[in-house]
Structure 1
Amino acid sequence: MQKEKIKPSEFTLVSLWNACGHLEALEQGNWIYNYVKRNNVELNVIVVTAVIDMCCKCANVEMASQVFERVPNKGLSSWNSMILGLATNGFEDEAIRLFARLQCMNLKPDFVSFIGVLTACNHSGLVDKAKDYFQLMDKEYGIEPSIKHYGCMVDILGREGKLEEAAEIIRSMKMKPDAVIWGSLLSACRSHGNISLARWSAEHLLELNPNESSGYVLMANMYAASGQFEEAMDERIPMKENI
């Protein structure tokens, strides 16, 4: 395209930055960004979001923050990308502060915004804050939680050992829990030694996918760790039959 002197469109640039993000090719992504600045390509919301997303996937949060703060055209997608990028790169406090800034803007947080801030709470173990955000979604913004929001809450509560609360979240879901949610609760039960809830989780996990060995293995290991060797053997038998 450069040899033919064809000016790239925003869709070309977004595709290139997506590729750089997946490959963690920060040097190439940075070169494209500099090319855009040299050639006065318009930095609209779509382009800005793609740059931020690429930088965060390449773990260059500093560059992502610089782009975010400098450009005037920041749509909600740019805020969401920055919040999630901070949360997934170990800058949980900054992600929560940025979400607070978003709440003061004319833009209203959407379901993606809440996935970002719940992810930040999860990584920093802020259970009570996560509960507040989860309730805020519906009460303040009229956003009905999706399966991803429920999954975040189950994971947060499970990590902190609040297994009964995590189970209650699952029971309250308006949609059928998926394998990710059951697997998350099962792993938490193993970490905190709750065999009864682990059994409940494993049954639902195996119901969704009988050929999935992790449910059998986790239950067998839990029974063995608690000295229930006969139950551990009972888990191994169906695993061999189904795998």
Structure 2
Amino acid sequence: MTTRPLTTIGFDADDTLWQNEQYYRLTEAHFTGLLADFAEGPKISERLLEAEKRNLRHYGFGIKGFTLSMVETAIEITEGKVPASVIAKILDTGRDLLNHPVETMPHVRDTLEALAGKYLLVMITKGDLFDQERKLAQSGLGDFFDAVEIVSDKTAVTYRRIFAKVGDGPERAMMVGNSLKSDIVPAIAAGSYGVFVPHELTWVLEHVDEPKEAPRFRKIDHLGELRDLIDRLG
């Protein structure tokens, strides 16, 4: 009996299954507007990114950490003089992000419908537990997945653990996502296929070079091309 080369497919969530980064960009633009009397927009964005980098180890990935980083940046930019009304508006923008409607990406539902039942499907995402659970529920995609893993970070160890638990190990698994740093490079390091689906907006901290020389690296323009790619694997 021939062993199937692929039995398990992992999907990133934010900006792979549904839109995400564009809402952060809009929120950041609003945030810089709130502090326009104290500094220019690019300087505020630079300080915000620095705060996000510092705070990842404290707050992890997600909206709550982003909101706290905005508050911290506002205090720093204004040298402690930020009005309470501005802090309140920053908190409001964070709550707006947490309640934003979910907009699925093109080809997502058709692709999941075609693959469900033929492969073990697992959603693997970083971020706040409650927020990611909310988005999955609102997306209406939950029934397609055999497992959902919301993790603090994505490393080769993460993928080995998940694909061993959910499927037949990383060698017979594939990870699909828009982040080279989080979805593709560590999945390939774990022994899986890594399918890169670029998004026009990707957080700067997720940027790394494409692993073009890796035998298990693949790149598609959109999720509608995933089924043909899988068929070509045999």
Name the TM-score, length of structure 1 as normaliser.
0.29
Higher normalized contact order (CA 8 Å, seq sep 6+, divided by chain length): 2
